[in-house]
Chains A and B, each alone.
Chain A
Amino acid sequence: MILYDAHHLPECYAVRLFAALVGAPLTLVPVDVYPGHEHRSDDFLARNPLGTLPVLVDGDTVWTDWQEMLAALALRHDAAWFPAHDPALIGWLGMARDLAASLGLARLIDTFGAPGDAAAARARADVLLDEIERRRWFGERAGQVWVMPQAHPTIADVAAFVFIALCEDAGLSLRDRPALRRWIDRVRFAPGFIAMSGVFPPMTNVTR
């Protein structure tokens, strides 16, 4: 499968990370979004008229929605990550889209000069982070390790992680959100985990 990719975008990182977690080989094709605006070129728009990244291609099949890509990879490689029977999955994936539109937007405004109201985006992100922290804290009390009740991690963890792990780029902090920090560590220590700029990998390479 070919992933048209921009390293700095959380949505692209989500697909790279999830592919690594389930052992799906990807051929990465970097797209010069910033500063080259290659995603507005005729060539790219022919592939994805929305002009968004990532784009995943497998033969004649083209995916342009990053969450749909996570589901497609899960169905192909390890369906335990995609508990489609549980309505909570819809809620959590929606929460991740809300994070994209708030935390993700504030990050793009602050670090890449994207247009928008950073203060409003941050305020919305603060509300979402508070609520996810509250759910995680009570989840921990109930013995729930991941965002969904399943014992196995889900694509919802990946979808939320890629924004929350980068929250300092958006001028937000996890300092007073300890349950989120513990969950972030749990994702980082998952087998196959890969990092991106701004996300620390676990130090598995250090033997002592």
Chain B
Amino acid sequence: MTNLATGVWYAIAADHDLVDGHVYRTVLGGHELAVWRAQSGTVQVWDDRCPHRGVRFSLGEVVGDDLRCQYHAWRFGPTGACTFIPAQPQMKVPGTIRARTWPVAQSGGLVWTGIDPAGPVPDLPPGTVARAIPIARPAAEVAAALVALEGLAPVVQPLDAGTTMVRAIATDGDVPRADRVLVALRRRLESAV
């Protein structure tokens, strides 16, 4: 775990990360997250943990508007409520069986969440979402190094105490250039230890 500020929106995925049938996996301030898009188009951010036996949801798959856990194929709908238990097909599933859901916002080609996020999602300039680059340095140090990068509007996602994901909008649309800049930054910060 790390010090995850409450009331703050964090970008934790790009829209293009969420493809049909697939559960995206990430971590925010030590909280393991499973992120997926239902067939209806709504985006879900959940604790990456099935409430049944604790297996990572991100090992599962998306079926229609449900996420299906890999272990016992229990299905959970967009509210987090369990909708179907294959071993008990006749049973009405108790409403207390729920995945833990997180707040979600979509803006600027990114998916945002946080702990009790307040106010609007940060406004990023127009452009193209670059490839997210993980850097094995604390978020504050990475954020300080990002200030001087031209043509990039970056945001940081603290993964854990010592690792940070950098997401950026390439304001000139030149994603290969943005990639080279961020990977070079990663090399510089990780070798400076």
A46 beta carbon closer than 8 Å to chain B: no
Q: Which residues of the partner chain A approach B13 to less than 8 Å between Cβ atoms?
A: 178
Interface of chain B: mostly helix, strand, loop or mixed? mixed
A185 beta carbon closer than 8 Å to chain B: yes
B59 to chain A, nearest CB (A): 6
Q: A134-B179, A203-B61 are in contact. Are A176 and B19 (CB under 8 A)?
A: no
A182 interface neighbour in B19, B73, B86, B165, Cβ under 8 Å: B19
Please state if B84 and A181 are interface contacts (CB–CB under 8 Å): no
Residue of B nearest to A181 (CB): B25
Interface contact tally, CB-CB below 8 A: 47
B101 beta carbon closer than 8 Å to chain A: no
CB within 8 Å of B: which of A126-150?
Answer: 134, 137-138, 140-141
Please state if B26 and A137 are interface contacts (CB–CB under 8 Å): no
Q: Which 4 A-B pairs have the closest CB atoms?
A: A176-B134, A206-B73, A137-B131, A178-B17
Can you give 27 A-B contacts (C-beta < 8 A)?
A134-B131, A134-B179, A134-B183, A138-B179, A140-B16, A141-B175, A175-B25, A175-B27, A176-B26, A176-B132, A178-B25, A178-B26, A181-B24, A181-B25, A185-B22, A185-B61, A189-B21, A200-B70, A202-B61, A203-B61, A203-B68, A203-B70, A203-B73, A206-B68, A206-B86, A208-B86, A208-B89
